[in-house]
Amino acid sequence: MRYGMVISLSRCIGCNACSIACKHENGTGPGVFWRKVIITESGKYPQAAMHALPLLCNHCEDPSCAKVCPVKATKMDANGMVTIDAKKCIGCRYCMTACPYNVRAYVRSNDKGYFDEGLTEYEKAVYGEHKVGTVEKCTFCAQRVEEGKNPACVQTCPAKALFFGDLDDPASQVAKLLTDNPNAKTLKPEAGTKPKVFYI
Amino acid sequence: MSKDSLANKMSRRTFLKVSAATAAAVAAGDQLLGGNGVGVLEANAAPAADDGWYPGVCKMCMQGDCQQRVHVVDGVVVKVEGDPQGRQNFGALCPRGNASIMQMYNPWRVKKPLKRTNPQKGLDVDPGFVEISWDEALQTVADRLKPIKESDPRKLVCVSGFGVRSALLGNFEQAFGTPNDVPSRGSACAYHIAGHITHQRGPDGVPDLDRCNYFIDVGHTLGPNIANSSPGTRNVLDAIERGCKIIDIDPRCSQEASKYAEWVPIRPGSELAFFLAMLHTMLYEIGTLDIWYLKARTNGPYLIDPEGEFVKDGSGKPLMWNEAAGRAVPFDTPDYMDCALEGTYTVNGVTCHPAFQLVKDQMEEYTPEWSEQHTTISAATVRRIANDFVEHAQIGATVDIDGFTFPLRPVGIVSERGPYQHTNEGPMQDFVTKIICQMVGAIEVPGGMSGCSMPHPDWLKPDEEGIRIANYEAGADYFGYPWSWPLNFADLRQFYPVSHTLVWALPKTILEPEKYHMDYRIEALMSCGGGPVRSGFDREAFEKAWAAVPFHFVFALTYDENAILADIVLPDSSFLEKDTFHGGSSAPPGHKVMVDSSRGLNVFLFRDASKITKPYDSRNMDEVLVDLADKLGIMTGPDGMAAKANNSLRNAPLDTGKKFTLREWSEASLKQTYGADKKLDDITDESGPVYFYSTRGAKNYNYYYQPDNQTRTPIYYINLLRVAKKFKENLEAAGLSEVPGWEGDMDYFFEAFTPIPKWMTCPEFNPPPEYDLWAINWKTPMAPFFCGDTFGNVWLHETMKKFDPYEFSIWINTATAEEKGIKDGDKVCVESRYGKAEGYVKVTELIHPEVLGFPSGHGASSSKANPITAEGPYFNALCNIDEKNRGVDPLTAGVESGPAVKIYKV
């Protein structure tokens, strides 16, 4: 089993619903985005176009982040997800430097919220789950996947531009999409990390 | 460990500890004061009992019908998500819906009822708010309203907006006796009238995206830039994937347009010229028209006399000219195909022409070459698009659905905010798009354009003249609003009889009642969910007017401008903490398409908020209105608020002898439409919503109910001619020769009240030379509008700031920027003849060289609001609502919002 994601750039409308769904699904604090959608443009007027590029952990087959982790906190699970064991992580942030995709976040605190007046009831309820001094990132919403659900970003996508599933299962939607789109791309293939997030 | 289990780890004990600490800190005067300096975080004394997922309905936008699930832990909402069982959103939720948690848990909210202690009012004046109890607040309001109720209830004006969808406000107003319900939404939505006359009930024309193959999208979104978890977004992308060709005609290029077949930039205010030329091309160069549709289903063959009226027989039936018989025949002749669309005839000594002939004659001069000078779109492009449109219409094609044979016309056109928002020119171009669609028969048939209300047997029913009955603002007797004199309505709707909304009129009638022939003065103002000070296109005028009203109470989520100017501020609950229902059709406005999943869909969604602990001392506005009605003595009896509510609850009426609860009212609403056996308790997270389809298959298309020649739509908009005539008679009877504010300019006032569209320019189209650019404004995916406190939401703000360099900027074309010596990131001032807006430039290829783009509604704030709301350029400052500047549209009452501007660095 190898969980992976296929992102249809021809469907993504750049609304960032996924980015915000990720925030409450994972209770991340100010400034922390485990995923995001970057808005850009290309071309010359009037042959110009606007683009949206969703970015998240690529759950690489050959993750450079795992290689540099001195305490083996980052590893690839049997299902293909690249995960971080917060109990082991010492916060050295080598992995953040090694990651070619800049999608990891360091937990500086879990008691600072969005407002000067202190944490709201919501923030009090969720920030404590993040261990200060560790590195975090997209988990493919493992907690949801365990329950048979899609990651929060996939479910919430208004454009149905995101697809998640087992790349090894030829019957899965992601496998079919990759079969139908042999030119599917990954980010920075030259880094040799073999991402499992594909763009079509 | 799963996130759910982690969340559940937080025990009630922990929560109480936190709450106790909060309370202690408050007692100690710690820094737990709200950001605005008033109100305190409330300690929650009564934690909720049950953790888990609860059903909800998202109200972060005007559509408000996405089914939501809410995860509650110890009374705290920790997650929201779209419900996969939802028939609108199928598990999706837009960025705003996802960010709703931060709307609720927001220390910048109004946390306690407040009263003003400083009698001086102004946006920069400290109101001196002090906290009061709910009892004192409501008693104060009741004491102020009682004398008004007894003297003249019209003196109370209620201004509502999309931010709060108070279903009971109308019933409160009726029980109180005021006709002055003035929505502050819609002043930029002057686009309903052509739809209301041409289609079914409207309020909009939408494409049949399941079948449409060629679509022209004009300054409009099919979904991604509005309520984007509704069907439009998914289905427009599906349509593109199956090969539907979409052409975007717009001064700027969006994410959505970037996925279309083509972006065709156009000069603002010239869309009418483009469509006149397209129609010219179809009539004079292509010549392939749906003759059957024109003869059987339009008023094209109706004979028109020199006065513009129908030529009629002795029984009042409009006549057509039967060429085979050589005589005039009634419109309902079975030989309609023998009737002429062209020619000159004499009937009873009157020279007359078929309406089609007159439309064709009017279009003769509007060649593609003529339009090019106005639009900057080449004549060749106009011809290509016109040809593609006609070719894709497949005139003559049919499709069988459930054994019923329909015409199949898979083409459509929709215009919206951008092109509509030009005085006279805007609504006129919309009528042309309707005529173009009728020329190929693409109205209310599969593949074509339909109104966006649910399909219904009555919507295309004809009047005695054989033409479908117009509705709403183009409604009964051709008037959206009945004439009355002396002036009854404070928003001047008598003077704008087919308009949409007129909140811009309130500052005028408040400050100058005599000028506008008001025989009463506005003495009390209630506002909720809307920000006319911010969105009404003249901040200073609204500030002055609001300050002049003797008593103003407001239902406020945050300290917006309405709140700052109010005497009593009633903290409204976030929708997440309200028992809320949505019970109705899937009809758009926010849904910009008609697709199979939403046609005929009736759905009842309910949020059970009983397990959610409110963070602040807020209340549901509807509940407060019930209490207020009770205090005012207008709750019970035959004219009471309960009786008024019963007008829409005939199947499950409330007891008119007592005050009702919101749950009783919600359940009655459920039973009314969905059956007496239905109960709110049956709506759970597991059950999903209550829904049924009132139509399926063939009945999804209104053509089914009035097929063949059983009804007609107008290519000759006689309604407008008749409205103008009747309106002039009414003015004369009132002793008026002119509409107040339009003195000396009445020819312009009536210019768009014409049955056949013609070229006319908006007041911004030929400005003084120094104003060498135009400014435009549009909705964006993350911040389409003010409702839901979009601009004060920290998650939305953070996401926009970090990842979208276009959102808070002023767009300028690269070549224009170079010409003016402006670089990306420069601070600039954009100045119109009416105001200025400052901001930072985004140099881009995505906008017409003559245009400056202002995304969304950023930049308006108040002295006690979260400062993030002040970020970004404030577009509305560039517009105006002065009749002398032709700042408002006489036909639709929309505000001209494509101002001519200049730009310079600051």
Going from N- to C-terminal start, the domains of chain A cover 3-199
Residue B35 reports pLDDT greater than 60: no
Q: Which of A122, A129, A146, A149 to mutate to probe the B interface, most B CBs <10 Å?
A: A122
Work out the end-to-end distance of chain B between its first and last CA atoms, rounded to an integer number of angstroms: 54
- Residue B588: name the closest of B206, B186, B92 by CA: B206
What's the mean per-residue pLDDT of chain B?
90
Strands B773-778 and B851-855: parallel
pLDDT at B589: 52
A150 CB burial (10 A radius; 0-12, 13-18, 19+): buried
Q: Which of A50, A114, A156 sits opposite B258 (nearest CB)?
A: A50
- Nearest chain A residue to B99, by CA: A20
Give contacts of A160 with chain B, Cβ < 8 Å.
92, 234, 237
Share of chain A above pLDDT 70, in %: 100
Give contacts of A180 with chain B, Cβ < 8 Å.
none
Residue B49 reports pLDDT greater than 60: no
Q: How far is A195 from chain B (nearest CA, A)?
A: 22
- Nearest chain B residue to A14, by CA: B255
- How far is B613 from B556, CA to CA, in rounded Å? 19
Give contacts of B615 with chain A, Cβ < 8 Å.
120-121
- Nearest chain A residue to B82, by CA: A156
- pLDDT tens by residue, B121-137: 999 999 999 999 999 99
Q: Which of A10, A16, A152 sits opposite B782 (nearest CB)?
A: A16
Size of interface A-B (CB pairs under 8 A): 218
- pLDDT tens by residue, B515-555: 999 999 999 999 998 788 988 899 999 999 999 999 999 99
pLDDT at B585: 63
Mean pLDDT of B205-226: 92
Residue-level length of chain A: 200
Inspect the interface and report whether the beta carbons of A45 and B796 lie closer than 8 Å: no
- How far is B12 from B460, CA to CA, in rounded Å? 58
- Nearest chain B residue to A129, by CA: B6
- pLDDT tens by residue, B397-449: 999 999 999 999 999 999 887 777 888 888 899 999 999 999 999 999 999 99
In which residue are the tokens 């003003």 written? B116
Evaluate the omega torsion of the peptide bond into residue A46 and state whether it is cis, within 30 degrees of 0: yes
Residue B171 reports pLDDT greater than 60: yes
Inspect the interface and report whether the beta carbons of B233 and A158 lie closer than 8 Å: yes
Give contacts of A157 with chain B, Cβ < 8 Å.
92
Q: Which pLDDT band, with edges at 50, 70 and 90, does B214 fall under?
A: very high
Residues 5..24 of A with a Cβ closer than 8 Å to B: which? 10-11, 13-17, 19-21, 23-24
Give contacts of B242 with chain A, Cβ < 8 Å.
none
B597 to A103, B89, B602, B693, B695: CA distances (angstroms): 37, 10, 11, 9, 11
pLDDT at B580: 84
Q: Which of B22, B780, B803, B850 to mutate to probe the A interface, most A CBs <10 Å?
A: B803
Residues 77..106 of A with a Cβ closer than 8 Å to B: which? none
Residue A50 reports pLDDT greater than 50: yes
B571 Cβ contact partners less than 8 Å away, ≥ 6 residues apart: B109, B110, B111, B112, B113, B114, B556, B557, B616, B617, B618, B619
B295 vs B13: which has the higher pLDDT: B295
Amino acid at B622: D
- pLDDT tens by residue, B636-681: 999 999 999 999 999 999 999 999 999 999 999 999 999 999 999 9
Q: How far is B253 from chain A (nearest CA, A)?
A: 7
Mean pLDDT of B150-164: 90
Strands B214-218 and B245-249: parallel
Q: How far is B40 from chain A (nearest CA, A)?
A: 10
| Architecture of the CATH domain A3-199 | 2-Layer Sandwich (3.30)
Give contacts of A124 with chain B, Cβ < 8 Å.
18, 76
A58 Cβ contact partners less than 8 Å away, ≥ 6 residues apart: A101, A103, A186, A187, A193, A195, A196, A197
Give contacts of A41 with chain B, Cβ < 8 Å.
844-846
- Nearest chain A residue to B250, by CA: A46
Q: How far is B6 from chain A (nearest CA, A)?
A: 7
Which strand (E) or helix (H) includes residue B347?
strand B345-347
Residues 38..57 of A with a Cβ closer than 8 Å to B: which? 38-39, 41, 43-46, 48-52
Residues 111..140 of A with a Cβ closer than 8 Å to B: which? 114-118, 120-126, 128-129
B193-474+709-717 CATH, one of 3.40.720.10, 3.40.228.10, 3.40.50.620, 3.20.20.70: 3.40.228.10
Q: Which pLDDT band, with edges at 50, 70 and 90, does B477 fall under?
A: low
- How far is B545 from B529, CA to CA, in rounded Å? 18
| A183 reaches B (C-beta below 8 A) | no
Q: Which of A10, A11, A16, A38 to mutate to probe the B interface, most B CBs <10 Å?
A: A16
Q: Which pLDDT band, with edges at 50, 70 and 90, does B879 fall under?
A: very high
pLDDT at B802: 97
Inspect the interface and report whether the beta carbons of B101 and A24 lie closer than 8 Å: yes
Q: Which pLDDT band, with edges at 50, 70 and 90, does B368 fall under?
A: very high
Give contacts of A17 with chain B, Cβ < 8 Å.
92-95, 97-98, 228-229
Q: Which of A9, A50, A51, A147 to mutate to probe the B interface, most B CBs <10 Å?
A: A50
Mean pLDDT of A131-153: 97
- pLDDT tens by residue, B726-780: 999 999 999 999 999 999 999 999 999 999 999 999 999 999 999 999 999 999 9
- pLDDT tens by residue, A93-111: 999 999 999 999 999 999 9
Q: Which of B234, B794, B844 sits opposite A41 (nearest CB)?
A: B844
B644 CB burial (10 A radius; 0-12, 13-18, 19+): buried
Mean pLDDT of B713-724: 95
B13 Cβ contact partners less than 8 Å away, ≥ 6 residues apart: none
Pair of tokens at residue B527:
């506002």
Fold exhibited by the domain B773-905: Barwin-like endoglucanases (2.40.40)
pLDDT at A57: 98
- How far is B632 from A118, CA to CA, in rounded Å? 40
Q: What φ, ψ does residue B875 adopt, rounded to 5°? A: -60, -40
pLDDT at B21: 37
Q: CA B436: distance to chain centroid?
A: 24
Residue B480 reports pLDDT greater than 80: no
Inspect the interface and report whether the beta carbons of B92 and A37 lie closer than 8 Å: no
Inspect the interface and report whether the beta carbons of B781 and A15 lie closer than 8 Å: yes
Q: Which of B1, B3, B378 to mutate to probe the A interface, most A CBs <10 Å?
A: B3
Inspect the interface and report whether the beta carbons of B92 and A123 lie closer than 8 Å: no
A90 vs B2: which has the higher pLDDT: A90
- How far is B231 from B836, CA to CA, in rounded Å? 38
Inspect the interface and report whether the beta carbons of B10 and A128 lie closer than 8 Å: yes
Q: Which pLDDT band, with edges at 50, 70 and 90, does B22 fall under?
A: very low
Question: What does the domain layout of chain B look like in residue ranges?
Answer: 114-189+481-571, 193-474+709-717, 719-753, 773-905
Inspect the interface and report whether the beta carbons of B82 and A156 lie closer than 8 Å: yes
Give contacts of B595 with chain A, Cβ < 8 Å.
none
Residue B478 reports pLDDT greater than 80: no
pLDDT at B19: 38
- How far is B271 from B419, CA to CA, in rounded Å? 6
Which strand (E) or helix (H) includes residue B362?
helix B355-363
- Nearest chain B residue to A156, by CA: B92
Q: Class of B114-189+481-571 per CATH?
A: alpha beta
Inspect the interface and report whether the beta carbons of A25 and B44 lie closer than 8 Å: no
Give buried/exposed letters for A169-191 (b at 16+ CB in 10 A, else e): eeebebbebbeeeeebeebeeeb
Inspect the interface and report whether the beta carbons of A125 and B84 lie closer than 8 Å: no
Q: How far is A36 from chain B (nearest CA, A)?
A: 7
Q: Which pLDDT band, with edges at 50, 70 and 90, does B228 fall under?
A: confident
Strands B303-304 and B130-131: unpaired
Pair of tokens at residue A80:
């293909």
- Nearest chain A residue to B77, by CA: A122
Give contacts of A51 with chain B, Cβ < 8 Å.
255, 258
Residue B285 reports pLDDT greater than 50: yes
- Nearest chain A residue to B40, by CA: A117
Q: Which pLDDT band, with edges at 50, 70 and 90, does B470 fall under?
A: confident
Q: Which of B616, B845, B850, B866 to mutate to probe the A interface, most A CBs <10 Å?
A: B845
